[in-house]
Amino acid sequence: MKQTMRRFLVSVAAVLLSIGTAATIYAASDKSKVGKISLVFDSDLGIGVDGNALSVTSEGENTDRYYISDTEVVNEDPDDFSDSNPPEIEVTLVVADEDRWYFAGASSDAFRLNLAASSKNRYDKVQFISAKRSEKNAMLTLRVKLIYDKKSKLDNRSAISLAQNDVASPAGFGWDSAHPGTASWNAEESARYYQIQLVRNGIDTGIMRSVYKNHYDFSSQMTEPGEYCFRVRTVRQSSHNKSEWVTSEIWTVAAAENEENRSDVVNAGTE
């Protein structure tokens, strides 16, 4: 009797396990593959002076099964694109309904990556780097590079060279008579920062400095008699292109003024 009961319980357990396994298989088979993913990249990143646009769109008959949730440029230095540092882009895809669809693969064969017509004269191709599935295959993170067309990069370098003259040099530059030894100039709207250099008797003195304000106090460096001037140029906000240097008038530091400057420096250091 006990043996019969034991066989019965084993049989029931087997049936229940079979039902559970079948339900799992059914649930999995109830979902469908998203299918091959076709993406179109339109960009001018690194092209010309103001190139900073990027868009990624999906195409094909299965675009209702997933959507693009995010695109991001992931280069460590996105302000210095080049042939050796092309735009690297991460695209995040998510299924439209995780109960109906799933991403079946993450190899390069799972994608069709194309350039938009407007980008074909800028880049050679969209290069697959990697892809990774997550969230139970409901999310897919794709990473690609936009490889520059060699001709477009040459054109880009020419455009940047020509654009040098489009960067406005500082205006209203000169020595501040109210603050001896202080260089000043008008702020330029397009400036990211300025580069300045002190010159004594026609020879650069000290290092070239990057300044984010439109003035700089050189008095602590003007401790020797001589004829001083300064050079200043604009570094553009959007492209880091530089304007032509402009040079101030001469400020003559005599021996007596030199001693006064030294005294001012010493007193400032002891306060």
242 and 140 both lie in a single domain: no
User: What is the domain count for the chain?
Assistant: 2
- The residue segments making up the domain with residue 241 are 167-270
Instruction: Say if residues 229 and 248 touch (Cβ distance below 8 Å).
Output: yes
The domain boundary, picked from 159, 184, 212, lies at 159
Residue 5 has pLDDT above 60, yes or no: no
Instruction: Say if residues 129 and 145 touch (Cβ distance below 8 Å).
Output: yes
150-159, 219-228, 242-251: least confidently modelled range? 150-159
pLDDT average, residue stretch 13-42: 69
174 and 150 both lie in a single domain: no
17-26, 68-77, 138-147, 180-189: least confidently modelled range? 17-26
Residue 218 lies in a domain: yes
The domain boundary, picked from 127, 159, 191, lies at 159
154 and 65 both lie in a single domain: yes
149 and 207 both lie in a single domain: no
Residue 201 lies in a domain: yes
pLDDT value at residue 71: 95
Angular region, 146: left φ>0, alpha ψ -120 to 50, beta rest: beta
136 and 184 both lie in a single domain: no
The CATH number for 233's domain is 2.60.40.10
78 and 150 both lie in a single domain: yes
Q: Could you tell me the end-to-end alpha-carbon distance of the chain, in angstroms, rounded to an integer?
A: 104
Residue 149 lies in a domain: yes
Residue pLDDT, tens place only, 94-134: 999 999 999 999 999 999 999 999 888 889 999 999 999 99
Task: Please enumerate in sequence order all residues whose Cβ is within 8 A of that of 6, keeping only pairs 6 or more positions apart, or say none.
Answer: none
**Cα–Cα distance measured from residue 194 to residue 214, given in angstroms and rounded to the nearest whole number:** 8
Which 3 state secondary structure label does DSSP give 154?
helix
171 and 147 both lie in a single domain: no
Q: Number of C-alpha atoms within 13 angstroms, CB side, residue 37?
A: 31
Task: Please enumerate in sequence order all residues whose Cβ is within 8 A of that of 51, keeping only pairs 6 or more positions apart, or say none.
Answer: 44, 45, 156
Assign 77 a pLDDT band (cuts: 50, 70, 90): confident
The domain boundary, picked from 159, 179, 211, lies at 159
pLDDT value at residue 48: 66
Residue 109 lies in a domain: yes
Greatest mean pLDDT range, 73-77, 164-168, 184-188 = 184-188
Threshold 0.75, pTM exceeds: no
Residue 6 lies in a domain: no
**Cα–Cα distance measured from residue 181 to residue 169, given in angstroms and rounded to the nearest whole number:** 21
127 and 195 both lie in a single domain: no
